[in-house]
């Protein structure tokens, strides 16, 4: 065996500590009671955390000092430590690298537009889906994030906005997309709880509208069916990337388990149950999936459905053998879809120059960016 010098101590991977945001309101009251405090203290903590976005325990002055510290220690432990922020687009895009209590690294991205602010959050550290064009997919899965670790990414963005720390003045998070690292439906329970924390009215949660939350999936069919039965109005995005099984088997390996037709059936089931328009994500990869005949096959499968295609110019990842489609191929692809009555838009590539764009999040290198 070759001796490899140990430069970095391997981080310990473990369960993140319990946090207020892991719990629903009844569980919070029970947790507070377990600590020997009156249950209404749970509502006070919720108001500070979700309502006022407070992160300084000493400012929670409606709770007596001793109780405050005991409660904060038990229910507001630090979960994510900021490693670094990288801004671009004049400060309207911010990619953040976080370190979990066990050393796990994850990323989130804040994107400010004239009419909205979207937080792109991670649901897992790494990802087990192994899509070959995605940076996160290359490293495998480290672990699931806890509900509170997911919520914290949004709360952090909300704090920066509330305090006017993001270019454009004070603001609020309006949208959340589960399009950071990980496959959200492979961490189903925690992601669902996170959606509830994000959308429960303040002060129980952050009070975002369900419609402004998008859960993006490779197409885990049983989990899509389950999501359809939750009574939520969140937007479902399905990462299709190919209309035919032969190619999709290679681009989205889970397709060997659930085929294009099954994934789309599940998506139409979601439309039927929720009345929500489904998004189909399609990364445009030069000479791989961008041929006119594939646009036509895709149109055939989607025509007449409550659906919208989101084309994402491929963000080539380091060492990738693939490139983005040419503008001409992309235009032709869009034209064929639109001509056949399928609503289609091309996603902007915010954060591209800071490796903060779709599929580029791969928190493997904690060294400072040059
Ligand atoms: N696991 C979820 C979330 C992944 S990230 C899912 O697969 O949907 C969100 C989107 O970015 C997915 O559609 C994903 O396929 C896409 N993506 C990943 N890598 C990309 C890349 N290098 N270029 C463009 N889009 C990419």
- Separation between Cα atoms, residue 151 and residue 123, nearest integer Å: 10
**Would you state the pLDDT for residue 358?**
63
58 & 104 share domain: no
Given a cut of 80, is residue 8 above it in pLDDT? Answer: no
* Contact in structure between 190 and 152 (CB atoms under 8 Å): no
In the set 37, 107, 149, 183, the catalytic residue is 107
Q: With 80 as the cut, is the pLDDT of residue 6 above it? A: no
Query: What pLDDT does 364 receive?
Result: 57
Please give the pLDDT value at position 11: 47
Residue 367 within a domain: no
Taking only the tens place, the pLDDT of each residue in 149-190 is: 999 999 999 999 999 999 999 999 999 999 999 999 999 999
Has 149 been annotated as catalytic? no
Going by alpha carbons, the residue nearest to atom 3 of ligand 1 is: 179
Does 5 have pLDDT greater than 90? no
Cα(47)–Cα(60) distance, integer angstroms: 10
Tokens 């993140």 correspond to 16
Specify the residue with its C-alpha closest to ligand 1, atom 12. Answer: 239
Mean pLDDT of 68-97: 94
Residue 338, token pair as written in the block = 């639109």
Kindly state whether residues 267 and 307 are assigned to the same domain: yes
CA distance linking residue 100 with residue 127, whole number of Å: 16
Mean pLDDT of 192-213: 97
Structural domain containing residue 54: 20-75
Instruction: Please report the atom of ligand 1 found closest to the CA of residue 186.
Output: 1
- Rounded CA-CA distance 84/365 in Å is 12
Q: What is the pLDDT of residues 229-283, one digit of tens each?
A: 999 999 999 999 999 999 999 999 999 999 999 999 999 999 999 999 999 999 9
Structure confidence at residue 100 (pLDDT): 96
Q: Are residues 51 and 116 in the same domain?
A: no
**Distance (Å, rounded) from C-alpha 312 to C-alpha 291?**
15
Count how many domains the chain has. Answer: 2
CA of 179 to the centre of ligand 1 (A): 7
**pLDDT over 60 (residue 2):** no
Task: Indicate if 185 and 169 belong to the same structural domain.
Answer: yes
Domain contains 145: yes
Shared domain for 44 and 94, answered yes or no, is no
Asked if residue 138 and residue 52 are part of one domain, the reply reads no
Quote the pLDDT of residue 78. 95
Which pTM does this prediction carry?
Answer: 0.94
* CA 136 to ligand 1 centroid distance, Å: 9
Residue 316 in any domain: the answer is: yes
Q: How confident is the model at residue 43 (pLDDT cuts 50, 70, 90)?
A: very high
Q: For residue 50, how many C-alpha atoms fall within 13 Å in the half-sphere facing its CB?
A: 29
Q: Are residues 68 and 151 in the same domain?
A: no
Range in 28-42, 117-131, 347-361 the model is least confident about: 347-361
Q: What is the pLDDT of residue 319?
A: 79
**Same domain? 142 vs 280:** yes
User: Residue of the nearest CA to atom 19 in ligand 1?
Assistant: 359
pLDDT for residue 10 is more than 70 = no
Strand pairing partners for 280? 238, 309
> Any idea which of 7-21, 60-74, 93-107, 334-348 has the lowest mean pLDDT?
7-21
* Closest among 321, 353, 329 to 132, alpha carbons compared: 321
Predicted pLDDT at 232:
97
Which three-class secondary structure string do you get for the chain? Answer: CCCCCCCCCCCCCCCCCCCHHHCCHHHHHHHHHHCCCCCHHHHHHHHHHHHCCCCCHHHCCCCCHHHHHHHHHHHCCCCEEEEEEEEEHHHCEEEEEEEECCCCEEEEEEEECCCCEEEECCCEEECCCCCCCCHHHHHCEEEECCHHHHHHHHHHHHHHHHCCCCCCCCCCCCEEEECCCCCHHHHHHHHHHHHHHHHCCCCCCCCCCHHHEEEEECCCHHHHHHHHCCCCCCEEEEECCCCCHHHHHHHCHHHHCCCHHHHHHHHHHHHHHHCCCEEEEEEEECCCCCCHHHHHHHHHHHCCCCEEEEEEECCCCCCCCCCECCHHHHHHHHHHHHHCCCCEEECCCCCHHHCCCCCCCCCCCCCCCC
Indicate if 71 and 89 belong to the same structural domain: no
Q: What is the mean pLDDT of residues 317-327?
A: 90
Average of pLDDT values for 129-138? 93
pLDDT on residue 354: 67
Average pLDDT, the chain: 92
The answer as to whether 6 is a domain residue is no
What CATH code is carried by the domain that includes residue 69? 1.10.150.530
Give the pLDDT confidence score for residue 361 in this predicted structure.
72
What's the 314 CA to ligand 1 centre distance in angstroms? 9
Q: Is residue 254 part of a domain?
A: yes
| Of 124, 135, 281, 356, best ligand 1 pocket probe by most atoms within 8 Å of the beta carbon | 281
Q: Which atom of ligand 1 is nearest to the CA of 134?
A: 19
Query: How far does the centroid of ligand 1 lie from the alpha carbon of residue 28, in Å?
Result: 35
Cβ contact 64:4 at 8 Å = no
Is 49 in the same domain as 146? no
Kindly give the distance from the C-alpha atom of residue 104 to the centroid of ligand 1, in angstroms, as a whole number.
21
In a domain, 95, yes or no: yes
Beta bridge partners of 119: 110, 176
- Of the three residues 75, 104, 120, the one that is the final residue of a domain is 75
CATH of the domain at 273: 3.20.20.70
- Same domain flag for 33 and 46: yes
* Residue 215 domain-assigned (yes or no): yes
Do 141 and 173 lie in one domain? The reply is yes
Token pair 């959050």 is found at 121
| Percent share of the chain, pLDDT over 90 | 86
Ligand 1: lining residues by beta carbon, under 6 Å: 129, 131, 133-134, 179, 183, 216-218, 239, 281, 283, 312, 314-315, 317, 358-359
Whether 112 contacts 171, CB under 8 Å: yes
More confident residue, 137 or 286: 286
3: pLDDT strictly greater than 60: no
Residue 37 binned pLDDT confidence (cut-offs 50, 70, 90): very high
**What is the residue with the minimal CA distance to atom 21 of ligand 1?**
359
* Boundary (domain end) residue, out of 75, 96, 117: 75
Cross-strand bridge partners of residue 105? 99
Predicted confidence (pLDDT) at residue 65 exceeds the cutoff of 80: yes
Assess if residue 87 is contained within a domain: yes
Alpha carbon of 76 to ligand 1 centroid (Å): 32
Angle made by CA atoms 61, 66, 70, in degrees to the nearest 5:
100
Residue 95, token pair as written in the block = 């990619």
54 is catalytic: no
Is the distance from CB of 250 to CB of 128 less than 8 angstroms? Answer: no
């Amino acid at each position: 065996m070759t001796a490899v010098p140990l430069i970095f101590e391997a981080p310990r991977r473990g369960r993140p500590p319990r946090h207020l945001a892991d719990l629903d309101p009844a569980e919070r009251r029970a947790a507070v009671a377990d600590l020997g405090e009156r249950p209404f203290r749970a509502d006070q903590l919720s108001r500070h955390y979700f309502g006022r976005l407070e992160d300084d325990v000493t400012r929670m002055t409606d709770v007596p000092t001793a109780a405050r510290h005991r409660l904060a220690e038990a229910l507001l432990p630090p979960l994510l430590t900021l490693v670094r922020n990288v801004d671009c687009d004049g400060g309207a895009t911010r990619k953040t690298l976080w370190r979990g209590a066990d050393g796990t690294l994850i990323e989130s991205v804040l994107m400010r537009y004239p009419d909205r602010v979207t937080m792109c959050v991670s649901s897992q550290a790494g990802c087990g889906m192994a899509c070959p064009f995605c940076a996160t997919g290359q490293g495998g899965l480290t672990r699931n994030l806890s509900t509170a670790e997911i919520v914290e990414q949004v709360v952090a963005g909300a704090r920066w906005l509330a305090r006017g720390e993001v270019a454009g003045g004070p603001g609020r998070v309006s949208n959340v997309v589960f399009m950071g690292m990980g496959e959200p439906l492979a961490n189903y329970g925690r992601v669902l709880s996170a959606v509830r924390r994000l959308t429960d009215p303040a002060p129980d949660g952050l009070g975002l509208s369900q419609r402004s939350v998008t859960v993006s999936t490779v197409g885990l069919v049983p989990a899509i069916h389950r999501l359809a039965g939750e009574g939520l109005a969140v937007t479902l995005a399905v990462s299709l990337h190919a209309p035919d099984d032969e190619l999709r088997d290679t681009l989205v390996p889970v397709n060997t388990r659930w085929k294009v037709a099954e994934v789309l059936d599940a998506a139409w089931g979601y439309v039927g149950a929720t009345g929500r328009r489904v998004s189909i994500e399609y990364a445009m990869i030069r000479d791989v999936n961008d041929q006119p005949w594939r646009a036509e096959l895709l149109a055939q499968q989607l025509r007449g459905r409550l659906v919208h295609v989101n084309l994402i110019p491929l963000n080539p990842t380091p060492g990738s053998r693939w490139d983005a489609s040419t503008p001409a191929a992309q235009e032709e692809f869009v034209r064929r879809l639109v001509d056949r009555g399928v609503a289609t838009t091309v996603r902007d590539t915010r954060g591209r120059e800071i490796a903060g764009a779709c599929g580029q999040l791969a928190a493997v290198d904690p060294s400072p960016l040059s």
